Amino acid sequence: MIDFGYSIKADRQINFDTNSKRMLEFVRTAEPSIDWCMSCGTCSSACTAASITDYSLRRLILSVRRGIESDVLNTVFRCRFCGKCANACPRGVNTRNIIYMMQTAATKILNHETLMH
């Protein structure tokens, strides 16, 4: 193979049509209040983990909706369930259950299990 000295860069564009929404369905079945979320970011501003890692619940809920599973797999386990986000949420979303469900889904995916309750 010729070494050109450069390479093709991965396409960053989210392909909404082809990304799987299985994680969203999994979480939503258990915790429908995920649909109340308006991405205001109050949760991530209160978040303990967000101060020292790149964990952001606001972003994770969006990633789940867009089918970007890598974001969840890489960061969701940083949550320690302190509960500050649930306290802060202006819409009363059950954030801890959402995070718990995302962690459950992530574990299943990492163990190559099917995403079923």
Partner 1 sequence: MEAAANLSRMGHTVTLIEKSSATGGRLNQWHALFPSRISPRPLLERLKSEISGNVNVILDAEVTGIEKNDDGYVVDMANNRMITADAILLTSGFDIFEAEKKEEYGYGIYENVITSVDLERIFNTGQPLLTVQGRKPSRIGFIHCVGSRDEKAGNFHCSKVCCVTAVKQAIEVKELIPSAEVFLFYMDLRMYGRHFEELYKDAQFKHGIQFIRARLSEAFENEDGTVQIRIEDTLLARPLKMSLDLLVLMVGIQAPKKKGNIIDLVGIQRDTDGFPKLDDPYGMPFRTGIPGIYCAGGITGPKTIDETLTEARAVASEIDAYLTGMPSFSNFESIVIGL
Partner 2 sequence: MKNEGKKRLWQEYQKEIATDNFFYGRSCVRQNFFPGAEQTFLKILRESLNKTVFENPGHTTCTGIGYHCDVVPLNTTMTVVARQFALMTEAGFENFAVSCITSFGLYTEIIETWKHFPETETQTREFLKQATGREFKIPHNLAHASDIIYKLRHEIAAISPYRLVNHITGKPLKVVEHIGCHYSKMFPEKGIGGAEYPYVLAGLAEALGGEVIDYPERRHCCGFGFRQYVIRANRGYSLSCSKKKFDSMEPYKPDVIITNCPGCPYFLDRWQYVVSEMEGKTYGENGHGIPVLTYEELAGITLGYDPWEIGLKTHQVSCEPLLVKMGVAFDPSGKYRGKNNEYLGRPAKPTHLRIDMDAIVLEPSKQPFEVTHD
Alpha-carbon distances, residue 77 vs 8, 72, 84, 91, 101 (angstroms): 32, 8, 16, 24, 11
For the CB of residue 7, give the shortest distance to partner 2 in the complex, in Å: 5
**Type of residue found at 99:** I
Question: Phi-psi category of 89—alpha, beta or left, where left has phi over 0 and alpha has psi -120 to 50?
Answer: beta
1 binds partner 2 (CB under 8 A): yes
**Which positions from 3 through 62 interact with partner 2, judged by CB under 8 A?**
4-9, 11
In the complex with partner 1, the residue whose CB is nearer, 22 or 108, is 22
4, 17, 52, 70: residue in contact with partner 1 (rule CB under 8 A): 17
- Residue with smaller CB distance to partner 2, 15 or 70: 15
Under rule CB under 8 A, residue 115 binds partner 1: no
Per-residue binding letters, 92-111, with partner 1 (x by CB under 8 A)? --------------------
Cα–Cα distances in angstroms (integers) from residue 113 to residues 72, 73, 104, 107, 109, in the given order: 16, 14, 11, 8, 6
Interface residue with partner 1, options 68, 88, 109, 115 (CB under 8 A): 68
**Tokens coding 78:** 């940083």
